[in-house]
Amino acid sequence: MEFIQTLAALAVTLGVLITFHEYGHYWVARRCGVKVLRFSVGFGRPLLRWHNKEGTEFVLAAIPLGGYVKMLDEREGDVPPELAEQSFNRKTVGQRFAIVAAGPLANFLLAIFAYWLVFVIGTQVVAPIIGQVEENSPAAVAGLQAGDELLSIDGRATPGWQAVGLALLSRMGESRHLAIEVRDEFGQQRQLTLELDRFLAGQTDPDPFTSLGIRPWRPEVQPILATIQSGGAAAQAGLRPGDRILQVNQQPISSWAELVDWLQGHPETALTLKLERDGFEQERRIIPAARTLETGQQVGFIGAGVEMPSWPEERLREQRFGPFEASWRAVQKTGEMSQLTLVSIGKMISGLISPTNLSGPITIARVANDSVKSGWESFITFLAYVSISLAILNLLPIPVLDGGHLLFYAIEAVRGKPVSEQAQAVATRFGLAILGSLMLMAFYFDLLRLG
């Protein structure tokens, strides 16, 4: 079932993004008088097909990893004389430029609309309050303390932890001073300077918070069981949802973290639990099962889930704006995410960011599925970011991508004549090699993450 949900999330995500992208090409092409022969979402065997009154064939194909708009073009086959003026190649360089640029532009517009929707409806974010600062860490040296709320980073407001993470990730690979504004538990604001030294450079799975030595504040999780796995050690010991664990081997337990430490540290070892159930105390003997981690370490587990606490209202921040302010904020957010994507690509090329951060369809599918589970706002936000990434990827000056075609048209506009077909053919083969290599790398790193 999980696999089917993941595939469904991938199909919906890519289907929406591809449809918007290709519709951008289609809409501008029709406005420029170009006859569109086929509008396809997906590749491979058609699942659905129909025609409109202009004769365009619309296709929904089986493999949702791309799409295309096929236009009438004299370079690709014979064109009846009466339709020659509707050929793509007969249009001015400006019209061809607009048709090709319309696909990425549609993805940017989709991202703006998605962010606008989130801002108008409103969401709650967790206030970025620090729960713990490690000794001698960069955060400790800068003067950050437990209980501080991060207000801004380099002048960029940080209302929630996602905003903090994005602000920090935008500095990956850099060595510089980072201006931070914080507010302590008593309402006093301070200006601090955090020193970065090749921040997160070359890391396979970058974690900006751990690298700085900070842990976000979280409500304390009580050792109260919420779910019991059938056939697990907890079920065999007679544990039930609602049980509060008081002691393990006569040692007091005050939090879920303490209980997990005990269980993980004693695989296949008999433990005596004292618990509270319906106001009465009782004891249970339990033997945690063993599980081997990727590191080779063996840990214990009992097949039980915890009852998660609710967040205090004072630790939540409401984000909701009127339609006009939301419009500006959506444009601003799209610009920020576009800049982050472009800067990340540049840092990856220069070696400051590990290429293992490349993501392919497997990672997109997993993140899409997780975002669906987290709520509609998480999925819409994820959709917006992937739409931006798709737009920027297509605008890269690589032949076979939209950006490669735009480069040819820009050269044509300067020279006054098109780039020769031979030169375009050579560049296209080169572009296919680059694109194929990137796709293989992304797929390979996807498999590594899956493992």
Other CB atoms within 10 Å distance of the CB of residue 278: 8
Q: How many angstroms separate the Cα of 129 from the Cα of each of 156, 226, 377? A: 16, 27, 22
The sign one gets for the Cα dihedral 37, 42, 44, 45 is: negative
Query: d(Cα 68, Cα 220) in Å, to the nearest integer?
Result: 51
Amino acid 228 reads: I
Under 8 Å between Cβ of 166 and 340: yes
Rg of the chain in Å (alpha carbons): 28
Contact residues for 404 (Cβ-Cβ < 8 A; gap 6+): 396, 397, 398, 427, 428, 431
Query: d(Cα 22, Cα 41) in Å, to the nearest integer?
Result: 8
* Residues with catalytic roles: 22
Amino acid 89 reads: N
Q: How many angstroms separate the Cα of 26 from the Cα of each of 20, 37, 135? A: 10, 10, 58
Query: d(Cα 241, Cα 277) in Å, to the nearest integer?
Result: 9
